[in-house]
Amino acid sequence: MNDSLPDATATSAPIRLLIAAPRGFCAGVDRAIEIVERAIKRYGAPVYVRHEIVHNRFVVDGLKAKGAVFIEELDQVPDGAPVVFSAHGVPKAVPVAATERGLDWLDATCPLVSKVHRQAERQVEAGRHILFIGHMGHPEVIGTMGQVPAGAITLVETVEDVAELKFTDATPLAFLTQTTLSVDDTAEIVEALRTRYPHMVGPKAEDICYATSNRQEAVKAIAKECQLLLVIGAPNSSNSLRLVEVAERLGTPSRLIQRANEIDPSWLDGVTTLGLTAGASAPEVLVREVVERIGELRTVTEETVTTAEEKMIFKLPRQLAD
């Protein structure tokens, strides 16, 4: 925390702090972090992790301190070393290559992402081309597109992209989505796709995960009462960026921060009600850090606004289940 900023508590008006719930870690993130921690205990350090296990620098640095080594490609893993695949999922070729090298590997892919992977395989097996709604370059998108043969998926990022598609009514089509998208934006894209391709099939249930949906609904519940919303999350965290967008769509200015020391006291000028939430990769300790920092700047009245209860728990891989 940055203690160099001036303490304005004595001279500034009180501030009402609305804290969204649910916020922060989801079951998939909890599971992924536990997989890395248990792997370090079982195998000893170092344990290699392909890509950031989750998109949060505080979490990644904490795991590094315990013995995790983060790499981007499998060829950076020494022979005989254990490797964990991140919560975002990996192309099918990655575990195949790890097995061919004789590496001990653990898959920390969120089970809800794995569900989309299986759906992609089934749609291609059924002879359908997949229209995949997601953000180009995001590791989850790369992982999902890597589950099926090249050319079997077309990425759709915006409603405008739908107008550029060249498929005919005779082309068997299906759609799937990244799990961390804006619920509202995705609904608009799906509607545009269904209008253009009425024969397109889709998943029985929404691919956007429960945690993403819940956190967006929680932001909607507080945003209209706030003059500013702070979202704790990383700039490469899709679900955190969507929380910023949800607030701003409702007319509430929003700022993405990673730590409390990023807060500029001038942001609070004229703010009587401040909103606070955290993306699914941000731990609660960072929420409390931000609350403490606000308390140094203003007299704070905290209120938690709860819109859903989350009780989801995902099983660990069988290698670590004991």
Q: How far apart are CA 163 and CA 20, in angstroms?
A: 37
What DSSP letter does each residue of 147-166 carry, written as one string? TS-TTSEEEE-SHHHHHH--
User: Residues near 110 by Cβ (< 8 Å), separated by ≥ 6?
Assistant: 28, 29, 31, 32, 87, 88, 89, 179, 209, 314
Q: How far apart are CA 158 and CA 161, in angstroms?
A: 5
User: Residues near 8 by Cβ (< 8 Å), separated by ≥ 6?
Assistant: 265, 297, 298
Count the neighbouring beta carbons within 10 Å of the beta carbon of residue 16: 16
214: nearest Cα among 120, 311, 121, 285? 311
Q: Which of 37, 72, 121, 140 is catalytic?
A: 140
Question: Is 188 among the catalytic positions?
Answer: no
| Residues involved in catalysis | 140
